[in-house]
Amino acid sequence: MPDPASIPPAPDRLARTPLHALHIDLGARMVPFAGYELPVQYPSGVLKEHLHTRTQAGLFDVSHMGQVELHGPDAAAALETLVPVDVLGLPAGRQRYAFFTNEAGGIEDDLMIFNAGSHLHLVVNAACKVADIALLGREIGGRCEIRVREDLALLALQGPGAEAALAPLAEDPLPASFMHGARVRLAGSDCLVTRSGYTGEDGFEISVPAVDAERLARALLAQPGVAPIGLGARDSLRLEAGLCLYGHDLDPTTTPAQAALTWAIQKVRRTGGARPGGFPGAARILAELDDPASVARRRVGLRPEGRAPIREGVEITDQDGRPVGRVTSGGFAPSVNGPIMMAYVEHAYASPGTSLAALLRGTPTPVRVVALPFVPHSYRR
C-alpha cells in the first residue's frame, strides 16, 4: 500500500461497496484500489487505526473481495485439480488457506476455502476475481455448479476485543477457534462467520447480505471499543504479521516454496501422500518440497538499522554490493516502532541473522534478515 498522501482521488468509474455511504459519513478518505473506491483512512489516521486494532477492535470493509460458491458432490475433488491443498479432507465448518497455481508452479492467486457442509465457499482477491471465476468456469464448471455471490458483502472485525464486540449481536454461538466457521444470525441477518482475518489478530470475517451490510456495520461500530479501519492500517497490520499481499509478495512467477508457504500444502497432496500432485505445476512444486536446497530464492523478513522506511522495489545486495534480492513489501511498523520489510533473496542469504544492504536512493543501508512474523500472531487456537 503506497503512502496515503500519494494516492490520487478516485475517478467516478470505480465500483463501490455496499458500505460506501457509511464511509463517507465517517469522514473516510476514499482512494482507488483493485477497481473499487475504498477508504484508505478515517480522520484518526493510519497510525491510530493500526494501534487501535492491535489493542481493541477494528472494523474493515473487505466487500471488494470475490465470494464464490461451489455446489455439487464433486466440488471438492474438482477444486483439488486447481489447488495443491487438501480440499476433500476439509471438515464441514472448517476453513483452509489455498492458492491457485499455474503450470510453471507459480501462484495465480491466494484464497480461502470454507466447507459450509452443503457447498464450498471461496473468498478470492479483488484484483484477481474476474480471472479466478473464469478459471473455475473453464476448468471445473462441468463438474460442479459455480455461483458468484455478488449479493454478499464482507466485513472483517479484528483485534483482541473482536469477540466481546460481536457476541452481543449474535443469536447463535460464534466459531470458537481460528479457521472455524458457522452460520450465525447477527443483528437479525443470516451471516456466514469465520474466525479468521488478515491482521495476525484474533477476529472474524463476516459474509453478510449486501442489503444488510450497512445496518450490521453500524451496529458493530456502536459497540464499545470498535472503530472503522482503512486500507492503510490493513496493509501495515498484515505486513507486521508477515502475511503476503497478492501482486506484491505473490505473483505468477513465485512458487509456494519461494514464498515460504509450504505449510499450506498438506501431506496428502505431497510426494508419498494419498493424492500427490494432480494440480497445475505439481512437478516443480513437489520437487521443491522434496529438495528445499533447490529453491533459488526465498521470502524473508528484513529489519534496517536506521529509521527510514524502505519500500517495495528497493534492491537488496550482499556485503560486497552484489544484487541478491528485492523488497516486495515495506513500511513503518507502528507496533514495533520502526521500519520493516519483506523481500525475496537468494537461498544462501535467507537465514535469520544474515547481514545485507538495501540500496535506499542508491545508498547502501544495512539490513538484517529476521524471522517472520514481525509481531506474534494472536489467533484463538
Which tens digits make up the pLDDT trace of 88-134? 999 999 999 999 999 999 999 999 999 999 999 999 999 999 999 99
Helix H or strand E segment including 301? strand 297-304
pLDDT score recorded for residue 101: 98
Q: Which phi and psi (to 5°) does residue 234 adopt?
A: -60, -40
pLDDT score recorded for residue 12: 57
Tell whether the model's pLDDT for residue 346 goes beyond 70: yes
What strand order describes the sheet that includes 203-209? 181-186, 189-194, 203-209, 152-158, 57-61, 226-228
- Chain-centroid distance of CA 331 in Å reads 17
> Is the fold of 4-61+151-229 the same as that of 73-143+265-294?
no
Residue type at position 279: F
Tell whether the model's pLDDT for residue 349 goes beyond 80: yes
CATH label, 73-143+265-294, candidates 3.40.1350.10, 3.30.70.1400, 3.40.50.410, 3.30.56.10: 3.30.70.1400
Residue type at position 141: G
d(CA 296, CA 349): 11
Residue type at position 19: L
Domain boundaries, the chain: 4-61+151-229, 73-143+265-294
Q: What number is the average pLDDT over the span 32-40?
A: 97
d(CA 133, CA 51): 36
Which tens digits make up the pLDDT trace of 3-18? 444 444 444 589 999 9
d(CA 56, CA 160): 6
Tell whether the model's pLDDT for residue 176 goes beyond 80: yes
Q: Give the CA count within 13 Å in the CB-facing half-sphere of 100.
A: 22
Q: What is the CATH number of domain 4-61+151-229?
A: 3.30.1360.120
Q: What number is the average pLDDT over the span 139-151?
A: 98
Which tens digits make up the pLDDT trace of 240-270? 999 999 999 999 999 999 999 999 999 999 9
pLDDT score recorded for residue 2: 44
d(CA 354, CA 341): 14
Cβ atoms of 258 and 299 closer than 8 Å: yes
Q: Annotate 283-310 with b (16+ C-beta within 10 A) or e (fewer).
A: ebbbebbeeeeebebbbbbbbbeeeebb
Q: What number is the average pLDDT over the span 273-296?
A: 98
Give which of 322, 270, 324 is closest to 300, Cα–Cα: 324
Count Cβ atoms within 10 A of the Cβ of residue 217 and give its class: 0-12 exposed, 13-18 middle, 19 or more buried.
buried
Which tens digits make up the pLDDT trace of 153-173? 999 999 999 999 999 999 999
The CA distances from residue 317 to 76, 99, 344, in Å, are 44, 30, 11
The percentage of residues in the chain with a pLDDT greater than 70, rounded to a whole number, is 97
Give which of 147, 156, 98, 136 is closest to 285, Cα–Cα: 98
Cβ atoms of 103 and 280 closer than 8 Å: yes
pLDDT score recorded for residue 366: 97
DSSP-based three-state secondary structure for 32: strand
pLDDT score recorded for residue 13: 85
pLDDT score recorded for residue 86: 98
d(CA 369, CA 343): 9
Q: Annotate 237-272 with b (16+ C-beta within 10 A) or e (fewer).
A: bbbbbbbbbbebbbeeebbbbbbbbbebbbeebbee
Q: Which residues pair with 218 in a beta bridge?
A: none
pLDDT score recorded for residue 4: 41
Which tens digits make up the pLDDT trace of 291-330? 999 999 999 999 999 899 999 999 999 999 999 999 999 9
The band of 331, judged by pLDDT with boundaries at 50, 70 and 90, is: very high
Which tens digits make up the pLDDT trace of 358-378? 999 989 999 999 999 999 999
> What is the overall mean pLDDT for the chain?
96
